[in-house]
A and B are shown apart, each in its own frame.
Chain A
Amino acid sequence: MTLTNEQILAQLAEKMPGSALSSEIARDGILNIHTTREQIIDLLQLLRDDEQFGFNFLTTLCAIHYPDNTGQELALVYHLHNWQQNVRIRLKVFLPIDDPTVPTATGLWPTANWMERQEYDFFGVVFTGHPDLRRILNVDDMEVFPMRKEYRLEDGTRTDKDDRFFGRDGHVGQSFD
């Protein structure tokens, strides 16, 4: 008997009431659950260790920046996978950009170490309790979090690129504000 989305929600309401602020079923059929940073680690632990859930694998962790979503600018998405029944689930946590802190999941999955470093690197999400929170992909002396929307995609030092050839209107050596 495969775990269905309805069963997951019903069991969650029973075992950890209040943890799911809201939920929806995405277009790909995967259940998305919104939760808070205070509850995320307990919720992940429950989903991993409870026999009826059995989400043993943290597939990936990603962040999104919604600049217009005041007070909840940054979203963190945890993707979990139950290998035995091949069921997936997503957990979403929204964070204010002034205080983008969330407890680390490295205690549950060691693999979260590099995933969290990546989200710190690109979005500046601070994972409290992380053993080694520093940049992982970008150059060490980078001063910005480049995937936040206020930063331009282009390299500020470029001199010979014409925006028209990159599908943008503009001219060579455009100034960067």
Chain B
Amino acid sequence: MSKIITAEMPEGMGGEGFFATKLSSAVGLARANSLWPLPFATSCCGIEFMATMGSNYDLARFGMERLSFSPRQADLLMVMGTIAKKMGPILKQVYTQMAEPKWVLAMGACASSGGIFDSYSVLQGIDKVIPVDVYIPGCPPRPEQVIDGIMKIQELVKNEPLRRRHSPEYQHLLEKYQIG
């Protein structure tokens, strides 16, 4: 008995020797199970992420064992830790360097809202400079929470229409952030 668990089939028509489904479902399935994350770790949440990557929690189960340290080849920007205001433009630059489609995950209180750093020098949440898809609360969040956040991202990736990123709503969102 094989221990390999295959991804759930999308909705479609199947029969002897064939299976038909929507292109967007097939592409979404492929994308969701081969996300390449770019870890943007600035503090303790990054340490918790390392535990998530390690063999105990094993992010590779989600098709994510390949971390991309180049934004050009990454699909998911994981921002983990306090972002100082001076870091803001750099974070935005990294985001704009990523190719579409791309998703952003804010891990921990600091990335989501500035956290305990109620201070003039700290960005009060990364959503002040880039759009965020999923927020993970916690200070720092446990690896289980990180995995939950990643699975939420996978749900988004699976169910998002292929052309969503060209939609007027998305363009408007990027304009609001003054991105391309």
Contacts and interface: CB of A to CB of B under 8 A. Distances in A.
Interface of A: 137-139, 146, 151-161, 166
Interface of B: 85-86, 113-114, 116, 118-122, 124, 128
Nearest to A161: B118
A158 B124 contact: yes
Tell me what chain A mostly uses at the interface: helix, strand, loop, or mixed: loop
A56 to B, nearest CB: 33
B86 A153 contact: no
A154 B86 contact: no
A146 B86 contact: no
Given A139-B86, A158-B114, A160-B113, A151 B124 contact: no
29 contacts: A137-B86, A138-B85, A138-B121, A139-B85, A139-B86, A146-B121, A151-B120, A152-B120, A153-B118, A153-B119, A154-B118, A154-B119, A154-B120, A155-B114, A155-B118, A155-B119, A155-B122, A156-B120, A157-B128, A158-B114, A158-B118, A158-B124, A159-B124, A160-B113, A160-B124, A161-B113, A161-B114, A161-B124, A166-B116
Contacts of A138: 85-86, 121
A152 B116 CA distance: 16
Contacts of A156: 120
Given A137-B86, A138-B86, A155-B124, 20 more contacts: A139-B86, A146-B120, A151-B120, A153-B118, A153-B119, A153-B120, A154-B118, A154-B120, A155-B114, A155-B120, A155-B122, A157-B124, A157-B128, A159-B124, A160-B113, A160-B124, A161-B113, A161-B124, A166-B116, A166-B118
